[in-house]
Protein backbone atom coordinates (compact mmCIF):
# COMPACT_ATOMS: atom_id res chain seq x y z
CA UNK A 1 0.00 0.00 0.00
CA UNK A 2 1.40 3.40 -0.95
CA UNK A 3 -1.33 5.67 0.44
CA UNK A 4 -4.29 5.55 2.79
CA UNK A 5 -6.80 7.95 4.28
CA UNK A 6 -10.23 7.55 5.89
CA UNK A 7 -11.96 6.82 2.55
CA UNK A 8 -9.49 5.12 0.21
CA UNK A 9 -6.24 3.23 -0.05
CA UNK A 10 -3.91 2.90 -3.03
CA UNK A 11 -1.74 -0.02 -4.06
CA UNK A 12 0.87 -0.64 -6.75
CA UNK A 13 0.18 -3.52 -9.12
CA UNK A 14 3.56 -5.11 -9.94
CA UNK A 15 3.99 -4.81 -13.70
CA UNK A 16 6.35 -3.60 -16.42
CA UNK A 17 4.38 -0.34 -16.57
CA UNK A 18 3.24 2.08 -13.85
CA UNK A 19 -0.05 0.68 -12.54
CA UNK A 20 -1.86 1.89 -9.43
CA UNK A 21 -5.17 0.75 -7.96
CA UNK A 22 -7.46 2.89 -5.82
CA UNK A 23 -9.83 1.05 -3.44
CA UNK A 24 -12.79 2.41 -1.52
CA UNK A 25 -12.40 1.49 2.17
CA UNK A 26 -16.13 1.23 2.75
CA UNK A 27 -17.43 -2.08 1.49
CA UNK A 28 -19.38 -1.35 -1.68
CA UNK A 29 -19.66 -3.43 -4.82
CA UNK A 30 -20.62 -0.60 -7.17
CA UNK A 31 -19.60 3.05 -7.38
CA UNK A 32 -23.23 4.07 -6.90
CA UNK A 33 -23.12 2.44 -3.45
CA UNK A 34 -20.28 4.71 -2.28
CA UNK A 35 -21.09 7.76 -0.19
CA UNK A 36 -20.61 11.18 -1.77
CA UNK A 37 -17.30 11.93 -0.03
CA UNK A 38 -15.77 8.60 -1.05
CA UNK A 39 -16.79 9.20 -4.67
CA UNK A 40 -15.31 12.70 -4.63
CA UNK A 41 -12.02 11.51 -3.12
CA UNK A 42 -11.75 8.62 -5.60
CA UNK A 43 -12.25 11.00 -8.53
CA UNK A 44 -9.74 13.50 -7.12
CA UNK A 45 -7.20 10.70 -6.59
CA UNK A 46 -7.79 9.43 -10.14
CA UNK A 47 -7.12 12.89 -11.54
CA UNK A 48 -3.99 13.39 -9.42
CA UNK A 49 -2.54 10.03 -10.39
CA UNK A 50 -3.36 10.49 -14.07
CA UNK A 51 -1.76 13.95 -14.21
CA UNK A 52 1.33 12.80 -12.31
CA UNK A 53 1.72 9.74 -14.57
CA UNK A 54 1.50 11.97 -17.65
CA UNK A 55 4.00 14.50 -16.33
CA UNK A 56 6.47 12.04 -14.80
CA UNK A 57 6.40 9.01 -17.11
CA UNK A 58 5.27 10.70 -20.35
CA UNK A 59 3.23 7.71 -21.55
CA UNK A 60 1.55 7.33 -24.91
CA UNK A 61 -1.81 6.83 -23.17
CA UNK A 62 -3.36 6.52 -19.72
CA UNK A 63 -5.85 3.69 -19.16
CA UNK A 64 -8.38 3.99 -16.33
CA UNK A 65 -10.80 1.16 -15.62
CA UNK A 66 -13.09 -0.22 -12.93
CA UNK A 67 -14.06 -3.88 -13.23
CA UNK A 68 -14.28 -5.73 -9.93
CA UNK A 69 -15.31 -9.08 -11.38
CA UNK A 70 -12.77 -11.00 -9.29
CA UNK A 71 -12.72 -8.53 -6.40
CA UNK A 72 -16.30 -7.32 -5.86
CA UNK A 73 -15.14 -4.13 -4.13
CA UNK A 74 -15.08 -0.71 -5.75
CA UNK A 75 -11.61 -0.13 -7.13
CA UNK A 76 -10.03 1.63 -10.08
CA UNK A 77 -6.98 0.75 -12.17
CA UNK A 78 -4.77 3.57 -13.50
CA UNK A 79 -2.12 2.48 -16.00
CA UNK A 80 0.51 4.43 -17.92
CA UNK A 81 0.71 2.75 -21.32
CA UNK A 82 3.53 2.83 -23.84
CA UNK A 83 3.65 1.76 -27.48
CA UNK A 84 6.59 -0.49 -26.62
CA UNK A 85 5.00 -2.24 -23.61
CA UNK A 86 4.28 -5.95 -24.03
CA UNK A 87 0.56 -5.59 -24.66
CA UNK A 88 -0.03 -2.19 -26.32
CA UNK A 89 -2.57 -1.47 -27.76
CA UNK A 90 -4.29 -4.44 -26.08
CA UNK A 91 -5.26 -4.29 -22.39
CA UNK A 92 -2.72 -5.78 -19.98
CA UNK A 93 -5.02 -8.76 -19.43
CA UNK A 94 -5.27 -9.28 -23.21
CA UNK A 95 -2.98 -10.97 -25.70
CA UNK A 96 0.72 -10.16 -25.43
CA UNK A 97 1.89 -8.37 -28.59
CA UNK A 98 5.69 -8.37 -28.18
CA UNK A 99 8.48 -8.50 -25.65
CA UNK A 100 8.19 -5.15 -23.89
CA UNK A 101 10.97 -2.59 -23.82
CA UNK A 102 9.84 0.12 -21.41
CA UNK A 103 12.52 2.21 -19.70
CA UNK A 104 11.09 4.15 -16.75
CA UNK A 105 12.33 6.65 -14.19
CA UNK A 106 12.18 5.72 -10.49
CA UNK A 107 8.81 4.42 -9.28
CA UNK A 108 9.79 5.38 -5.71
CA UNK A 109 10.17 9.02 -6.77
CA UNK A 110 6.81 8.89 -8.55
CA UNK A 111 5.17 7.51 -5.39
CA UNK A 112 6.63 10.40 -3.33
CA UNK A 113 5.19 12.91 -5.80
CA UNK A 114 1.75 11.27 -5.76
CA UNK A 115 1.65 11.01 -1.95
CA UNK A 116 2.45 14.71 -1.59
CA UNK A 117 -0.46 15.65 -3.86
CA UNK A 118 -2.85 13.13 -2.26
CA UNK A 119 -2.08 14.47 1.22
CA UNK A 120 -3.59 17.77 0.08
CA UNK A 121 -7.06 16.32 -0.65
Domains in the chain and their CATH numbers?
A: 3-118 (3.30.428.10)
Q: What is the pLDDT of residue 68?
A: 78
Q: What is the pLDDT of residue 67?
A: 84
Distances, alpha carbon 61 to alpha carbons 4, 20, 85, 109, in Å: 26, 15, 11, 20
Q: What is the pLDDT of residue 69?
A: 79
pTM: 0.94
Which stretches of the chain drop beneath a pLDDT of 70? none
For residues 73 and 28, the answer to whether their CB atoms sit within 8 Å is yes
Amino acid sequence: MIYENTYIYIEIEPCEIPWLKIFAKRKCKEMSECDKTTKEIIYKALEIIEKEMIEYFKPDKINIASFGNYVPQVHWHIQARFKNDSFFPEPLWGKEQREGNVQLPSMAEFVKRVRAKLDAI
